[in-house]
């Protein structure tokens, strides 16, 4: 299922609700980045949420790739010692270990 013409990669093999949720999350990421800027905390959180959904869908490679980018962007633009950066980094370590 696509929202506004977007559907996640390999969406056909996923349940329709998962595909719909990921499409909506992608719209949230795109819209929040457009309105607030790519490095505002809200789009960074939306991108982390999207990574979590990929993880729940069993897409480990996309999960790690997306969250790695979120961690790097959080550290670069918000600071490595900020609570959101620390939490994202811990989550990434856990997800890499579990992959």
Q: Which domains does the chain have, with CATH numbers?
A: 14-98 (1.25.40.10)
pTM of the prediction?
0.81
- Of the pLDDT bands very low, low, confident and very high (cuts 50, 70, 90), residue 9 is low
- 27 vs 8, residue with greater confidence: 27
Place of tokens 């992608």: 26
pLDDT at 1 over 90: no
Which tens digit of pLDDT belongs to each residue from 47-86? 999 999 889 888 888 899 999 999 999 999 999 999 999 9
Nearest to 59 by CA among 69, 71, 51: 51
């Amino acid at each position: 299922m696509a929202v506004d013409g977007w559907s996640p990669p390999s969406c056909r093999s996923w349940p329709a609700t998962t595909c719909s949720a990921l499409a909506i999350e992608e719209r949230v990421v795109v819209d929040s980045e457009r309105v607030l800027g790519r490095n505002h905390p809200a789009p960074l959180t939306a991108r982390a949420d999207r990574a979590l959904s990929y993880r729940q869908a069993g897409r480990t490679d996309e999960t790690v790739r997306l969250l790695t980018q979120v961690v790097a962007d959080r550290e670069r633009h918000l600071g490595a010692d900020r609570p959101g950066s620390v939490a994202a980094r811990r989550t990434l370590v856990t997800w890499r270990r579990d992959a």
